[in-house]
Amino acid sequence: MNWLLIFAVVISALLHCEAKTFTRCGLVQELRRKNFPESVMRNWVCLIEHESGRRTDIIGPPNRDGSRDHGLFQINDHLWCNDSNVPGKDCHATCAELRTDDITKACSCAMIIFRRQGFYAWYGWIDHCKGKPLPDISNC
């Protein structure tokens, strides 16, 4: 028995539970399931690709004000989620809930942000998507 190998497999299985990287089409299918409108789907895909690389579990580096951004949509903990185990702030969520493989909570929070500020809430969108060629999802 190669215990190191078994150890490595168990560790990667554990890590896998908490981290998921969507493929582009996998992401599109998931967003369709959450009723994201088709008319701006490519904008969401572009935003997510630049914010998180389609990873669910990412925590960004500290922002200038000391806040951090969480998950697929890189949602900010200064305004939108509470970075403790008590759900709070404008999305009534813990930040950890915005970093799970089940993206239901992250999606509803992103929709709350979008309703208030549109895509302008995300620098990933402003810098890389606004007025630029958007990802091709024609085969999804």
Catalogue the active-site residues: 51, 69
Which member of 50, 89, 99, 105 binds ligand NAG (CB under 6 A)?
89
Residues 6+ apart with CB under 8 A from 45: 24, 27, 28, 31, 134, 135, 137
| Residue listed under structure tokens 């060629």 | 133
Give the chain's end-to-end CA distance (angstroms, integer). 43
By CB under 6 A, the count of residues binding ligand NAG is: 5
When the beta carbons of 82 and 108 are compared against ligand NAG, the nearer one is 82
Residues of this chain, 69-88, that bind ligand NAG according to CB under 6 A = 82, 84, 86, 88
User: Closest approach of Cβ 82 to ligand NAG, in Å?
Assistant: 4
Residues 66, 84: contact at Cβ < 8 Å?
no
Burial of residue 28 (number of CB atoms within 10 Å: 0-12, 13-18, 19+): buried
When the beta carbons of 22 and 80 are compared against ligand NAG, the nearer one is 80
When the beta carbons of 45 and 93 are compared against ligand NAG, the nearer one is 93
- From the CB of residue 61, how many other CB atoms can be counted at a distance below 10 Å? 6
Does 67 contact ligand NAG by CB under 6 A? no
Q: Which residue is nearest to ligand NAG (CB)?
A: 88
Contact residues for ligand NAG (CB under 6 A)?
A: 82, 84, 86, 88-89
